[in-house]
Amino acid sequence: MRRNQLFWGVVLLLVGGLMLANEMGIKLPNGMSLMELFWPMVLIFGGVWVLVGVFLRGNIEMENASVDLQGASTASLKIKHGAGELKIHSGAVANELARGSFAGGLDHKAIRNGDRLEVKMRPAKDVMDFPFFGPRAQLDWDVALNAQIPTALTMNLGANKSTLDLRDMNITDLKLETGASETRLTLPARGRFHADLDLGAASLQVTVPDGLSARIHASLGAVELKVDESRFPRNGSYYQSPDFDSAVNAVDMTIDAGAASIKVQ
């Protein structure tokens, strides 16, 4: 909030000062009015603000937290994250669904619905203050999930960098939605499940573990798509492992993307 006040305070002082000088007839030695300097000065100030945002990051509190499993045998987990770096991997203990370190704090809701635990996780603080390109803190998260609990996982990610290592996880359904982001996703190695990947202006690298068959459907705009066809031969409008229909472990993957770079290996 103070950064916003500083930014807009400087802008208002600049505009007011130039307008006052213009009304008083004050001119530069070359005859130009001071108001003619308004847009060049705004652009210069904006450029400085962007550069300051690149090299300076605000301080933000780190919180260690966990989500109790509450005795549930299955779970659905929805994670909303942006403006930072997100790491997801296995490592939560038996009585937890998730644990980790959360810059900016963790706001979560957990509801037990029969044998199913329904959880939503999001940052406790929103650091995306306007102007967006100024100095700000990053919401860096490092999250460990319970690898044994069958989990439907949904991730809504903004402008961030994510490393999602789900290799050891028991995922029953996977949904990933990203904005302007860089994502490295390692799929679970076991089970038959669906993965729905919806991307904006993004870079995505998907690693399919050995032993996991795949069928890959892609609905793409201005996209660079590279698929390892030695493992997933093209079959008309999709790519598919030869043993997909009979495989014990398989993913049915749908990719919907705009301007993106995607690699599946």
C-beta of residue 116 within 8 angstroms of C-beta of residue 150: no
Q: What percent of the chain has pLDDT over 90?
A: 60
Q: Check whether residue 18 and residue 137 sit in a common domain.
A: no
Distance CA 172, CA 151 (A): 6
Same domain, 124 and 248: yes
Give the domain extent around 161: 62-264
The verdict on 116 and 190 lying in the same domain is yes
More confident residue, 176 or 40: 176
pLDDT in tens, 181-208: 899 999 999 999 999 999 988 899 999 9
Q: Cα–Cα distance between 123 and 103 in angstroms, integer?
A: 8
Q: CA 12 → CA 7, 142, 163, distances in Å?
A: 9, 40, 42
Residues 191, 150 share a domain: yes
Name the domain count of the chain: 2
User: Final residue of a domain: which of 55, 82, 100?
Assistant: 55
CA–CA dist 213, 232 (Å, integer): 8
Amino acid 252 reads D
* Cβ atoms within 10 Å of 55's Cβ, excluding its own: 7
Does the model's pTM come out above 0.75? yes
How far is residue 27's CA from residue 36's CA, in Å, rounded to a whole number?
10
pLDDT at position 42, please?
Answer: 64
pLDDT of residue 58: 54
Cβ count near 169 (within 10 Å): 27
Confidence of residue 1 (pLDDT cuts 50, 70, 90): very low
Residues 112 and 18 in one domain: no
